Chains A and B, each alone.
Chain A
Amino acid sequence: MKKVFSFNLNGEDIQVLSEPNRTLLDLLRDDLGLTGTKKGCEAGECGACTVMLDGRPVNSCITLVAEVEGCRVITVEGVAQDGQLTPLQKQFIDKWAFQCGYCTAGMIMSAKALLERNAHPTEQEIREAIEGNLCRCTGYVKIVEAIQAVSAEMDAMGWEVKA
């Protein structure tokens, strides 16, 4: 039986009517039309569906809609603010930190969660932050570079990192 669930999605408080056994991923993609979050394995093993849940990166494919009641959820569609790409997105573009783009949303969410927690991660910390995001195209080289560049860029400008 469907129930009403309330949570904050990309800055907006919303209410959804959903079966309790529905995953957040299916809700986002099929009910809310937010298809930027991808489905790659449905088992929490590829990271393509990563979203931020109360600031933490989690796999939306193994998260029930019911579990996010009262939480803040950010998807890739909610990263850019007022139509402006964030430095993280810009660096992904500049560094060619994607190819097919299927893992990109998840990568950006994992990187954003990292940078919000740790504005100056080491390369090892960056790699650990994206260890759960498989990328079949890039060898991760340019993804790591892009995340490093955000940190350096913001630092050089004396700004707080707002990934």
Chain B
Amino acid sequence: MVLPDFDYLAPKTLEEASNLLHELGEHAMVIAGGCDTFPPMKQGAFADCQYIIDLKHIPGLDKIEYDEKEGLKIGCLVKLFDIQTSALVKEKNPAVAQAAKYIASTQVRNKGTLMGNICAAVPSCDGGPILIAQNAKILVKGHDENRAVPAEDFFTGVKKTCLAYDEIATHIVVPPLGEDERAAYIKFATRKAMDLAIVGVAAWLKMDGETVADARIALGAVATTPILAPAAGEFLVGKKLDDAVLEACGVIAMNSCRPISDVRASAEYRRDMVRVFTKRAIRKAIEGYEGDAI
């Protein structure tokens, strides 16, 4: 299997990378870990790629930071393995650590990044649902101006994002989880590792005692992009989470997606699994990750 004849460029600053992209246009591709770039390339994708712009040599993008107000800020070069094992992430937002751990294999997580996972934008990407459910933002550096894109608006189609050709996604910012807020992500796949989600469900809940004050449910692998299931979240508001409510919420989530049948599962099965894992993700959010070996 053969990669296209591209040249490799390693800018030392974000500015330089941005200029290169602007200058080289559509034929340049940005990589962080490259794990979602090179395998499809070997299969014939991106055949017209002439330049690989590797961000790895740009200092400062490999940090995980936390701010009580802003929340968790993950640089685009932070490896998935470092998110998964980060004490900070596990403490402040364990569902993000769990989502990172679900992705591919130990080897891929030691090279690949969460930003790479969402920029590849496959419908089953595990990074999508948990970021959408938590209303995370993607910080984007453009050639002329910068912007912050809500995770929900980041994905625009199968393997497509809102990024313009000369934009670089630099950070993921996940808002802090307040005392009364909970989040969880469950990936359902055939294997326990190295697999793609049949469905992925993320839940974010804001509780008022035993009642749900606010909620967001996001789904993966059941549409062209990871999606928010607004009706499912809204349904929970003002309710106590008993079995009947969870079941009803699962059905609403199920009815809010239009999955396809493919080699991994039938649409019918996916829909039912959305029902099942919506319930389980909500339960997991309430239960929390304490004691889990992520």
A/B: CB atoms within 8 Å of each other:
yes
Residues on A lying within 8 angstroms of B by beta carbon are 1, 3, 19-23, 42-45, 47, 50, 53, 56-59, 62-64, 66-67, 69, 110, 113, 122, 124-125, 128-133
Q: Are B42 and A132 in contact (CB under 8 A)?
A: no
List residues of B (1-39) whose CB comes within 8 Å of A's CBs: 1, 3-8, 10, 34-35, 38-39
Residues on B lying within 8 angstroms of A by beta carbon are 1, 3-8, 10, 34-35, 38-39, 42, 52, 54, 56, 79, 81, 104-108, 110-111, 192-194, 293
Q: List 23 A-B contacts (CB under 8 A).
A: A1-B7, A19-B5, A20-B8, A20-B52, A21-B5, A22-B3, A23-B38, A43-B39, A44-B39, A44-B105, A45-B105, A50-B107, A56-B111, A62-B108, A64-B8, A64-B34, A66-B52, A69-B10, A113-B110, A128-B106, A131-B106, A131-B194, A133-B105
Distance between Cα atoms of A51 and B52 in the complex (Å):
22
Q: Given contacts A57-B110, A64-B34, A128-B106, are A20 and B7 in contact (CB under 8 A)?
A: yes
Q: Are A124 and B293 in contact (CB under 8 A)?
A: yes
Distance between Cα atoms of A67 and B10 in the complex (Å):
9
Q: Residues of B contacting A42 with CB < 8 Å?
A: 1, 39, 42
| Nearest Cβ on chain B to A87's Cβ, whole angstroms | 21
Q: Residues of A contacting B108 with CB < 8 Å?
A: 44, 59, 62, 132
| Nearest Cβ on chain B to A132's Cβ, whole angstroms | 3
* Cβ-defined partner of A64 (8 Å) among B52, B81, B194: B52
Distance between Cα atoms of A66 and B52 in the complex (Å):
10
